[in-house]
Amino acid sequence: MSEKFTETIDTVASLLDERVDGYEIFLSSSNGTAIEVKAAEVDAFKVRSETGIGLRIIKDGRPGFGYTNVFVSEDLRRMVSSAIDGSVAADKDEALCFTDKCETSITASELDLIDDGFDALSESEKIECAASVESSAKGFDERIATVRKASYNTSTMTTRVVNSNGVDADYSATFYSASVMAVATAKAVSKNGSEDSQVGWEVSMGHKRGDVDCAGVGTEAARRAVEMLGAEQIKTIKCSAVFENAVVMDFLGVLASALSGDNVMKGKSMLADKVGKKVLSSLLNIYDDGLIKGGWSSSLFDGEGVSRQRTPLIVEGLCEGYLYDSYWGGRAGKPSTGNATRGGFKGALGIGTSNFYIEKGKEDLKTLLSSVGDGLFITDVMGVHMIDAVSGDFSLGASGMRVEGGELTTPVRGMAISGNILELFSRVEAVGSDLRFVGSVGAPSLLVADVEASGS
């Protein structure tokens, strides 16, 4: 952090002296660019920069909060007064606390989150990267009719959290990403008189410029679109199915919510009171690991200054525990797992995952498909956000490929799969070796038995 930010933190701390029982100062600074290319021309070029400070206080057992993005004495004083005045109307809460100082045995350089060449990347080079995404998608196949939202984004983030218990933790990282949507249109006209049109989407993310293959993103999106051309509806079947890693990631978001300690205590989790019990297939191991080298959400400390760690959540199908910050951990009689998160200096503290993933298995994708025999390869699901977080029940639209004799054959769409997410993951018969992360969520492909797909 710059000297100016250190002076700001010192000023706020002095304004709070002896006026509160405890405080936490959070400062963040971020900047970035987002570029979209359309028809080989820049369609959008957005530059974003935001710096601000957020303040949490405890006074007489009551919480207070304030923030500002203006670092002058008058505004800092106003922020402090706002937090203190706001605490008067808040309810007392004996569980309120600020974490104590934590130590970590690794260094920021070991996490490898910063691209030293970030500032050297020119605007023209960023535009070339976005253009490469679009051109590679268009050039993949003559049936690619449209390329939408070919984008390339770069950003950098620096944060620091200081509290009255001696915590002083900082974090810095650079970020790169590229994404695109490709639309393929079949030349042949379908029975109802309209052309067959299919969409493919792809994204790549990382902390280093070299982590993002712009041309590969475009090619993969186009491939996905083209391979779905001619997709047909199928009759209702019950069969084994391989769920592609990207689809498994969608389901993982629901399990992440169910493993959040606050949801467990509020009765909003399908995994409440399941510690020590078998909840998924014994082949599945799920971890939250904030210390993965190069991980999208890796850091030495979480949003309140607690050391990150590798937390086992599901081991051989057994529920091992939940994710906590200091507040909800204290209420549950558990230590924080280093999972406090913030939505920025204006946002409230909450529980969130770091790098959340299913551990990879030993079988490659070809072996998983061979094990299916005759069944399905599910490559896309729709409506995952509608899964009931308490019961785990779902009904989702799905599409993918038919598997016949262990080989991919024809594309299929218009299916509906329904059931319960815990039951679905309990029927996993094999775990793929193709672990992939998109941002902070990672998963391999899974072979699941007895999947019922409703068709025509």
209 with 293, same domain: the answer is: no
360 with 381, same domain: the answer is: yes
The helix (H) or strand (E) run that includes residue 425 is helix 421-426
Q: What is the pLDDT of residues 196-250, one digit of tens each?
A: 899 999 999 999 999 999 999 999 999 999 999 999 999 999 999 999 999 999 9
356 with 435, same domain: the answer is: yes
Confidence of residue 323 (pLDDT cuts 50, 70, 90): very high
Sheet containing 168-189, strands listed edge to edge, beginning at the edge strand earlier in sequence: 62-68, 41-59, 22-38, 144-163, 168-189, 195-206
Q: What is the pLDDT of residue 5?
A: 82
Domain's final residue, options 167, 194, 227: 227
241 with 307, same domain: the answer is: yes
Q: What is the pLDDT of residue 456?
A: 67
pLDDT at 135 over 70: yes
Per the CB < 8 A criterion, the answer to whether 182 and 225 are in contact is: yes
pLDDT at 11 over 80: yes
Q: What is the pLDDT of residue 216?
A: 98
pTM, full prediction: 0.95
As a residue count, the chain comes to: 456
282 with 407, same domain: the answer is: yes
Confidence of residue 187 (pLDDT cuts 50, 70, 90): low
CA distance 241 to 419: 14
Question: Among positive and negative, which fits the CA dihedral 192, 194, 196, 201?
Answer: negative
Residue 151: HSE in the Cβ half-sphere, 13 Å Cα cutoff: 20
190 class by beta-carbon count within 10 Å (0-12 exposed, 13-18 middle, 19+ buried): exposed
Domain span at residue 78? 3-227
More confident residue, 316 or 102: 316
294 with 307, same domain: the answer is: yes
267 with 394, same domain: the answer is: yes
pLDDT at 192 over 60: no
190 with 274, same domain: the answer is: no
CATH of the domain at 211: 3.30.2290.10
109 with 187, same domain: the answer is: yes
377 with 452, same domain: the answer is: yes
239 with 191, same domain: the answer is: no
- DSSP-assigned letters across all residues of 57-126: EEETTEEEEEEES--SHHHHHHHHHHHHHHHHTSPP-TT---PPP---SS-HHHH----TTGGG--HHHH
Q: What is the pLDDT of residues 419-453, one digit of tens each?
A: 999 999 999 999 999 999 999 999 999 999 999 99
Q: What is the pLDDT of residue 286?
A: 98
pLDDT at 50 over 80: yes
Domain's final residue, options 182, 202, 227: 227
Q: What is the pLDDT of residue 2?
A: 60
327 with 431, same domain: the answer is: yes
**Domain count within the chain:** 2
Domain's final residue, options 227, 260, 284: 227
